[in-house]
Structure 1
Amino acid sequence: MEHILTIKNLTKKFGALTAVNNLSFTIKKGDVYGILGPNGSGKSTTLGIVLNVVNKSSGDFKWFDGNTSTHDALKKVGALIERPNFYPYMTAEQNLKLVCKIKGVAFSKINEKLEIVGLLNRKHSKFTNYSLGMKQRLAIASALLNDPEILILDEPTNGLDPQGIHQIREIIKKISAQGTTILLASHLLDEVEKVCSHVVVLRKGLKLYSGRVDAMISSHGFFEVKCNNQTKLLQLLENHKSFEKIKVEDNLITAFLNEPMKSENFNQFMFNNGIILTHLVQRKESLEEQFLQLTDH
């Protein structure tokens, strides 16, 4: 599959502070790739380096086949890495016409991109009258004007209300479904889990995980159980090869699986061994639980 961006051993130091520490990952065509981490983990610095606005200290990155200069490659990139910055008393359409002139894009693209972000019926409204969510959506439309091969978004839902967050996420899914590769920096686990196919998890510039989101949460899950004979239940679980870890909180026992098991088979096994369960729930570990384990909470 075609590579869009390859980052290899990338490091950025600001004096004694190492903001990005020997980071490597590859984004392939069609990926929705999330950079996940708390504030200060190196997400924005990484984006700044590949967009040529921050100088790297060491390591390397290459766009596309590696034979394209960064300057030429960035003509095929759309990016939103700061708060939307348009002329407040000009309409959305007027603002986008200016962007078209700068990018050398035909004005005919404007309606197409406003349609994608749900602002076509507000194209004659002044930017100053837009809500924060609408401003963010207009900025995405602006970044799409040159039909980029990859769209880069830095914390695109920051500061938005729940409706605004939902709208931005649906737009990201729509853009991805049309074949555009997306690189998204976020500190929100929920965001990455809902819209990303791949993720790299950072903490203080260090990579803790990179790969598919579904592989990160591909544990076999766990059972939450209660019964009237907790001692015997614990003994059965501890001697069963399918369980790797048992946790007890008050009367609730959590048994983590190391291989697949159906709840009906588990229930039958307990019944055959004289245990009548009063509570049985099977769950999958969420991305949040995986993330907390990775980052030591």
Structure 2
Amino acid sequence: MILQLIQVSKSFGDHQVLDDIDFELKEPQIIGLVAPNGYGKTTLFNIISNLEKPDHGEIMIFSEKNTNEKIFEHLAYLQDNRVLYDNLTAREHLAFVAACHNVEQQEIIEICDRLGMSHYLDKRVKKYSLGMKQHLLLAIALISQPQLLLLDEPLNGLDPSSVKLFREIMTELFNKGVSIIISSHNLYEIEKLTSNILFLHDQKLIRNTEIDVPVDYFYFLSDIRKIETELTKNGFFWQSKNSVEFLFTLNECQKEKLEEICQSNDVLIYDCIQKISKTEAAYFSLFT
């Protein structure tokens, strides 16, 4: 077992953030933890990494309680840039972390080269842009070669080329067997990395696959007249854009039924275009 949360709850005064959360990660995955800001994503990461205590519940990491310092041989956590020291350079930050994990200097050089950091390694952090700080935080997280990586809003301040590099690095790590959980409010970018999405909503974790919400589809059909009666009888509604293009709003079961009706009546489906992703539709159903 890579990660296990057992009935984890957390409140701040009268405000409950997490409520009896159960979760298991049994094999390496890239998982997106998605919710608007202020919904408890950082709190959950802090609890997993034992920086905050739950009100009740238990967290196991590689079959060890998360209160055991041994977990940090396998776990790395990218926090926000407030953990950086303004008067230290990137090299000094990385040298300290490398010494804690008995990592050779060559490893620092390779990571910094990969992240394009070499030209500002010896600048003090107080002179860094937000994107430069994010690169340093990622380097710190990677230097221990973790098997479980928690990344809290890692895309903040990154330009498009840095975001592309980030996706490449995450894919490389996953292919090496690293489990990655990325928190973000940016669903669009997370969907480019993974289809495994967890929403943090009403203090609970909800998998995107558990939510079946209607999505708009543009169907291009050879002859809808053949099936109009049957569609109406089965409760379908649609808008005609022209003689071949039709807009349907369907959940997964309805989509399957529509395509079954088309097939059984020899109506060709020339194309089907989904207006927004199912995950995006699920997000809007939960948070708007």
TM-score greater than 0.5 by the shorter chain: yes
| Matched residue count | 279
Contact 1:221 1:282 in 2 (8 A): no
Higher deviation after alignment, 134-143 or 89-98: 89-98
Q: How far did 1:41 drift?
A: 1.8
Q: Per-residue displacement from partner, 1:70-113 (whole Å, max 9, x unpaired)?
A: 32213321111221654556543333112223444332321232
Q: How far did 1:188 drift?
A: 1.6
**Distance in 1 of aligned mates of 2:174 and 2:14:** 39
* 2:150 match: 152
**Identity score, percent:** 25
Contact 1:52 1:70 in 2 (8 A): no
TM-score (norm 1): 0.76
Contact 2:216 2:247 in 1 (8 A): no
* 1:201 match: 199
Counterpart of 2:237 in 1: which secondary structure?
strand
Alignment partner of 1:33 is 2:35: no
Which runs of no fewer than 5 residues in structure 2 stay unpaired? Answer: none
* 2:233 match: 239
**Distance in 2 of aligned mates of 1:225 and 1:68:** 50
Higher deviation after alignment, 119-128 or 131-140: 119-128
**Distance in 2 of aligned mates of 1:58 and 1:68:** 13
Which runs of no fewer than 5 residues in structure 1 stay unpaired? Answer: 272-276
* 1:42 match: 40
Q: Per-residue displacement from partner, 1:36-72 (whole Å, max 9, x unpaired)?
A: 1112222111111111111111222111124675322
Counterpart of 1:254 in 2: which secondary structure?
strand
Q: How far did 1:169 drift?
A: 2.8
What is the aligned counterpart of 2:15 among 14, 17, 23? 17
After TM superposition, the structure 1 = structure 2 runs for residues 1-297 of structure 1, keeping only pairs within 5 Å, are: 3-66=1-64, 69-83=67-81, 85-88=83-86, 91-120=89-118, 123-124=121-122, 127-128=125-126, 130-207=128-205, 209-210=206-207, 215=209, 223-225=217-219, 234-240=228-234, 245-248=236-239, 253-254=247-248, 256=250, 257-259=254-256, 269-270=266-267, 281-284=271-274, 286=277, 287-293=279-285, 295=286, 297=288
Task: Name the amino acid aligned to 2:283.
Answer: F
Q: How far did 1:202 drift?
A: 1.3
Contact 2:218 2:272 in 1 (8 A): yes
Contact 1:64 1:73 in 2 (8 A): yes
Q: Per-residue displacement from partner, 1:148-178 (whole Å, max 9, x unpaired)?
A: 1111111111243434433333332232223
Q: Describe the shift of the 1:10–1:88 C-alpha distance in structure 2 as closer, same or farther (beyond 3 A).
A: closer
Contact 2:59 2:66 in 1 (8 A): no
**Distance in 2 of aligned mates of 1:176 and 1:122:** 28
**Distance in 1 of aligned mates of 2:240 and 2:8:** 43
Counterpart of 2:256 in 1: which secondary structure?
coil
Contact 2:35 2:200 in 1 (8 A): yes
**Distance in 2 of aligned mates of 1:234 and 1:40:** 47
Higher deviation after alignment, 112-121 or 249-258: 249-258
Contact 1:27 1:33 in 2 (8 A): no
**Distance in 2 of aligned mates of 1:176 and 1:81:** 20
Q: How far did 1:185 drift?
A: 1.0
Task: Name the amino acid aligned to 2:230.
Answer: L
Q: How far did 1:288 drift?
A: 0.5
Task: Name the amino acid aligned to 1:98.
Answer: F
Q: Describe the shift of the 1:54–1:88 C-alpha distance in structure 2 as closer, same or farther (beyond 3 A).
A: closer
Contact 1:4 1:27 in 2 (8 A): yes
Q: Describe the shift of the 1:63–1:116 C-alpha distance in structure 2 as closer, same or farther (beyond 3 A).
A: same
**Distance in 2 of aligned mates of 1:114 and 1:134:** 11
TM-score (norm 2): 0.78
* 1:274 match: none
RMSD: 3.7
Higher deviation after alignment, 21-30 or 163-172: 163-172
